[in-house]
């Protein structure tokens, strides 16, 4: 019962994503992973060119199992969007902790 209450509170605070019909409740805000991607990233493009970056956040399923949710986003160097402007429904992958 306590797990349900905590999950409800977490979902209100951080949101949730659904992947392949399964709901994952975020347990924290998304953060940059710092992983250098094999395609274009911020360090190897010029101003005005697109680059990709990865973010992740902790999550739990409705049974309380822990996961990490990953997103890969594309932006334009020197005119980047705010982080809340990206579509967090488009998940790259989810890994069980």
* Mean pLDDT of successive 10-residue stretches along the chain, which has 97 residues: 74 97 97 89 90 97 96 95 97 98
Domain ranges for the chain = 2-96
**pLDDT score for 60:** 97
With CA atoms as reference, report the closest residue to 54 among 76, 30, 77: 30
Burial class from Cβ neighbours inside 10 Å (0-12, 13-18, 19+) for residue 90 reads exposed
Strand bridging mode 66-76 / 93-96: antiparallel
**pLDDT score for 39:** 77
């Amino acid at each position: 019962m306590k797990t349900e209450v905590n999950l409800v509170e977490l979902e209100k605070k951080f949101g949730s994503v659904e992947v392949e019909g399964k709901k994952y409740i975020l347990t924290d805000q998304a953060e940059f992973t710092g992983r250098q991607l094999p395609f274009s990233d911020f360090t190897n493009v010029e101003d005005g060119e697109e680059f990709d970056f990865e973010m992740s956040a902790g999550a739990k399923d409705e049974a309380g199992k822990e996961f990490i949710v990953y997103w890969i986003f594309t932006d334009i160097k020197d005119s980047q969007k705010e982080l809340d402007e990206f579509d967090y429904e488009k998940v790259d992958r989810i890994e069980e902790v």
